[in-house]
Amino acid sequence: MREDIVVSIGGSILLPKEDDIEGLKNLSKMLLKVSEDFNLYLVTGGGRIARKYIRWGRSLGVDEAALDELGIRTSRLNARLLILALGKKVYPVPALGFDEAISAGNHYNIVTMGGTHPGHTTDAVSAMLAERLRCKRLINVTSVDGVYSDDPRLDKEATRFDRLDHDELISIVGKNEGRAGPNVVFDPLAAKIIKRAGIKTYIVSGDDLKNIEAAIKDEEFHGTIIGDT
Ligand code: UTP
C-alpha cells in the first residue's frame, strides 16, 4: 500500500527569493516524481509574504488573532501557487480543513493545505494532519539544515543534532514567545502533537532537492530525525 506522507514546506522554501520562480518549478517536478510512489499531503507556510502582512498589520495596532488570519490567508495563497506549479494531478484547491484534505486524498495523489486557525503555525497543521492520517513519518522542509541547540543564524556556537527524542525537541523549541509570525525551527504545539501521536519527524533543509527526496523516501539524508528510538 502507498504510504501517506505529510510534507510541511515553509513559505521561504517555496519562494526563497523575490521574483524567482525556478526553485518552485524544480521543487514541483521532484514532488510530482515522488507522488508516483507516495500519497503526498503538502502543507505550505506563508513565508516572507506572511511576515510582511503581519508586520503591516501589527503596525496598525490590531490583535494577534487578526494577524494570524493574515498568515493563514498567505499560506493558502502559497498553496494555490504550488497547485498551479504542480498541474493536473493535484486536488485543485487548498483544503481548508483536515476532513477535506483526507477525503481529497482518496481521489488525488497530491493534496495541499495552508493554515487553519489562529494560534499556531503550519508546522502544527502538518502535525495534526499527520496525526489524523495516522502517518508514521512527517517531513518538515525548512530554511536550516536541522535542529540546533540555539538559532544558528544568531548563535555561531549552536550545535546541530542528528537525532533528538520528542521530549528533547519540546524543551528546545519551548522558548517560543507565541506571537503571530514566529520564526522557530519547529512550532512547539507541533512538537507536542508529534510526541502524543508517536510520529517520527524529519527536519530537512530546503536548499537541496535530492536531500528532501531522500527524506521523503526514508533514505539516508542530512538533517535531524526526531523520534524515540
Ligand atoms: P507559517 O506556518 O508560515 O509560519 O505561518 P512560519 O513557520 O513562521 O513561516 P515559514 O513559512 O515556515 O517561513 C505564518 C503565520 O500565520 C499564522 C501564524 O501567525 C504564523 O506565524 N498561522 C498560520 C496561524 O495562525 N494558523 C495557522 O494554522 C497557520
Phi, psi of 138 (to 5 degrees): -130, 140
115-124 residue pLDDT tens: 999 999 999 9
Report whether residue 75 contacts ligand 1, using a CB cutoff of 6 Å. yes
User: Of all protein residues, whose CA lies closest to atom 15 belonging to ligand 1?
Assistant: 71
Neighbours of 223 (CB within 10 A): 26
Q: What is residue 154's predicted lDDT score, i.e. its pLDDT?
A: 82
**E-state strands within the chain:** 3-9, 38-44, 110-113, 137-142, 147-148, 160-161, 163-164, 200-205, 224-226
5-56 residue pLDDT tens: 999 999 989 988 887 899 999 999 999 999 999 999 999 999 999 999 999 9
Integer Cα distance of 192 and 107 in angstroms: 30
Ligand 1 atom at minimal distance to the Cα of residue 118 = 25
The DSSP bridge partners found for residue 111 are: 41
Q: What is residue 155's predicted lDDT score, i.e. its pLDDT?
A: 84
User: Of all protein residues, whose CA lies closest to atom 27 belonging to ligand 1?
Assistant: 115
SS3 (DSSP) at 181: coil
pLDDT > 70 fraction of the chain, expressed in percent and rounded: 96
Integer Cα distance of 210 and 70 in angstroms: 32
Is 182 a residue whose pLDDT tops 70?
A: no
Report whether residue 8 contacts ligand 1, using a CB cutoff of 6 Å. no
Has this prediction a pTM greater than 0.85? yes
Contacts of 19 (CB under 8 A, 6+ apart): none
Residue with cell 493534496: 111
pLDDT band at residue 62 using 50, 70 and 90 as cut-offs = very high
- List C-alpha distances in Å: 104 to 34, 100, 107, 191, 224: 18, 6, 6, 26, 30
Q: State which of 51, 75, 184 you would mutate to test the pocket of ligand 1, scoring each by most atoms of that ligand within 8 A of its C-beta.
A: 75
Report whether residue 181 contacts ligand 1, using a CB cutoff of 6 Å. yes
Integer Cα distance of 24 and 137 in angstroms: 24
pLDDT > 90 fraction of the chain, expressed in percent and rounded: 79
Integer Cα distance of 3 and 1 in angstroms: 6
| Across 114-140, average pLDDT | 97
| Across 59-82, average pLDDT | 97
Q: What is residue 150's predicted lDDT score, i.e. its pLDDT?
A: 83
Q: Which domains does the chain have, with CATH numbers?
A: 3-226 (3.40.1160.10)
**E-state strands within 166-206:** 200-205
Q: What is residue 200's predicted lDDT score, i.e. its pLDDT?
A: 97
Determine whether 177 is exposed, middle or buried from the number of CB atoms within 10 Å of its CB (0-12, 13-18, 19+).
Answer: exposed
Q: What is residue 229's predicted lDDT score, i.e. its pLDDT?
A: 65
Report whether residue 73 contacts ligand 1, using a CB cutoff of 6 Å. no
Q: Output 164 or 16, whichever has higher pLDDT.
A: 164
Q: Output 175 or 188, whichever has higher pLDDT.
A: 188
| Across 139-162, average pLDDT | 89
Q: What's the grid cell of residue 183?
A: 520564526
Question: Which of 90, 144, 137 lies closest to 113, judged by CA?
Answer: 90
Report whether residue 200 contacts ligand 1, using a CB cutoff of 6 Å. no
**E-state strands within 53-157:** 110-113, 137-142, 147-148
Q: What is residue 183's predicted lDDT score, i.e. its pLDDT?
A: 59
Contact at 8 Å (CB) between 64 and 180?
yes
Residue with cell 525548512: 142
Mean pLDDT check: name the lowest of 32-41, 130-139, 178-187: 178-187
Report whether residue 173 contacts ligand 1, using a CB cutoff of 6 Å. no
Tell me the average pLDDT of the chain: 93
Q: State which of 81, 120, 122, 207 you would mutate to test the pocket of ligand 1, scoring each by most atoms of that ligand within 8 A of its C-beta.
A: 122
Ligand 1 geometric centre to CA of 141 (Å): 14
Report whether residue 47 contacts ligand 1, using a CB cutoff of 6 Å. yes
Report whether residue 188 contacts ligand 1, using a CB cutoff of 6 Å. no
Is 177 a residue whose pLDDT tops 90?
A: no
Integer Cα distance of 164 and 217 in angstroms: 20
Is 181 a residue whose pLDDT tops 60?
A: no
| Across 138-146, average pLDDT | 94
The DSSP bridge partners found for residue 8 are: 43, 140
Report whether residue 45 contacts ligand 1, using a CB cutoff of 6 Å. yes
